[in-house]
Every structure is written in C-alpha cells, then in structure tokens.
Structure 1
Amino acid sequence: MVEIFTDGASSGNPGPGGYGVILRSGNHYKELSEGFRKTTNNRMELLAVIKGLEALKSPQQVTIFSDSKYVIEPVEKKWLYGWVQKNFKDKKNKDLWLRFLELSKIHQVKFVWVRGHNGHPENERCDVLAVAAGKQKTLLIDSVFEAEAAKGSLL
C-alpha cells in the first residue's frame, strides 16, 4: 500500500507554478517537486498526482490525498469517462487527464480529499514544496499549456 500526498500552486492563474508530492510506503519516504514558468493551479494539482503515480516502479494499491476537488471529483464521480467519450469537449487539461487515465490502468487508485491549509502535515509540506518550486530561478516549460495558450484554444 502506497500513500501519495499532493498539492499544486501557481502565482497568478496562469503564472509561474509548481507541484509538490510526498510518497510514503512503510519506512520509505520520498518528496518530489518541479516548477514551471507559466501554468495554472489546476494543471499543477493534476500533474502532482501524475508525477506521484509515475514515480512508482510497479503496480500498486495507492491512496492519493489531495485538497483539489478539481482532481478528485471527476474521477470519484466518474465524470472523467464521459469527458473521454466526448473527446474532452469544452474541458481543459486533456493532455494531463489522458496521462492520468493511463496510469490509473496500472495502479489501483483511491482518492481522499483533505482540506487545504488546515494543518494536515503532509498537505502543508506539499504546499511548501509546490510554492517553492514555482519560485525557483530556473523553471521548466509547460509546453502543452503554453502552446495551447498561444493558440487561444482550450486544453
């Protein structure tokens, strides 16, 4: 059983941002974070989940703790599957949702919502990681977001 704690942040929406992830299983503990020069909070929330799942070396039973209803509700309420059938018409972040769907075929994923900024230790740590990542001097390029933003189209 693996626990993944996630958070995303952006300064401006869009603006510079980042994600923070904690992976925990037994005595194993790992933190991940990256920052991007132009992105959105929702993209970082979803990317945190993806990066956490991508860090797993084999299929796992995973509980993901997130303060993002944007990420949790489409999965838990099964909206995401309708979005796929409609080719994500009028939905943003198709690229990330498709990455998540591929990972969800590998792992058994369960979500738990936690209230953000409410003293949950791992959520607070992920927030610190995400905010710090978005403030780094050298930031990655969220190329899909920037390309779509330049075209003026929805992701």
Structure 2
Amino acid sequence: MTHVEIFVGSQCHGNPGPGGWATVLRVGRHEKVLSGAEPRATLNSLELQAFTEALRILIEPCAISVHSANRFLADGFARWSGLWTPRGWAETGKRPIHNADQWYALIALAQVHEVTFVAMAGEESPAMAHAMQLAATQ
C-alpha cells in the first residue's frame, strides 16, 4: 500500500469570512499542491475542504498520514464521526452537526484508505508551512 503524507492548512479573515485552503500531498520525493478559496467559510470548513480535495485525487487505496494544526479535523474524523451515524448526523443535544455535507463526503472518500493524523504546528515542516502560506494567499 502506497504511503501518502497530506499536509492541510487553512486561513480565514474573520470566522466566518473569506478564506483559503491548501494541501500538499507527498509520496516519497514527489509532491502535488492543491489550493482554493471560498468567499465565506470557517476555518473548520476550509480544513475539511483541503483534506477532501486531497482524497479526491488519490487513485488507489493508500496509507495516509494527515498533518494538521487543526484538532477539529483529527477529532472529528477519528473520535466523533463514528457517533454521528447512529445519532442521525446530530450532536449529543440533537443539533445537526456543523459541516455535515463536508464530513459525509470526507468520510465516504476515506473509507478505502488507512488514515492516521499527526498534530503539528505550521512551522514544524516545510510542507506544512507551505500549505499554510498558500492558504493565506488565496
């Protein structure tokens, strides 16, 4: 199984507000960069977008290490998502979860992969710093 490192970053002017997302995919010494902007978004929705876009370009099941400074992404994917389906995609208090459409797409795309998360600050690796810088300039 191919190992892919995915570095995701997002920046937002206001929360919500206009913002950008970026992701750097790395397989060995090869890198692919994706980025985009949204006129009105939250940091969390931009982070979800970055990871989703990275998954969309993978053509085979992979072992993925996701590097992110955003705990929301890791916690939502690894801890909370398994609780949402039995609850009808609602939080404990029966409120619909935020960004449900994005989470649903992300989880569907990730099912064929082995995904682990690595929490890190933007300055900890050149690829992470690059993703954060790209997101800020969108």
Q: In proportion to residue count, which structure has more strand? A: 2
TM-score (normalised: structure 2): 0.88
Q: How does 1:83-94 map to 2 (within 5 A)?
A: 83-89=84-90, 90=95, 91-94=97-100
Separation in 1, partners of 2:70, 2:88: 23
CA root-mean-square deviation = 1.3
Q: In proportion to residue count, which structure has more helix? A: 1
> Does residue 33 of the first structure (1) align with residue 35 of the second (2)?
yes
Q: What count of residue pairs does the alignment treat as equivalent?
A: 131
Separation in 1, partners of 2:22, 2:34: 6
Separation in 2, partners of 1:105, 1:21: 19
Letter in 1 for 2:87: K
Partner of 2:104: 98
In the TM superposition, residue 119 of structure 1 has moved relative to its aligned partner by 4.2
* Gap regions ≥5 residues in structure 1: 134-155
Percent identity at matched positions? 31
Residue by residue over 1:136-155, the C-alpha shift from the partner in whole angstroms, topping out at 9 and shown as x without a partner, is: xxxxxxxxxxxxxxxxxxxx
> Does residue 132 of the first structure (1) align with residue 137 of the second (2)?
yes
Residue by residue over 1:54-79, the C-alpha shift from the partner in whole angstroms, topping out at 9 and shown as x without a partner, is: 11121111111111101001223x22
TM-score (normalised: structure 1): 0.79
* Gap regions ≥5 residues in structure 2: none
Separation in 1, partners of 2:39, 2:118: 29
Separation in 1, partners of 2:27, 2:100: 30
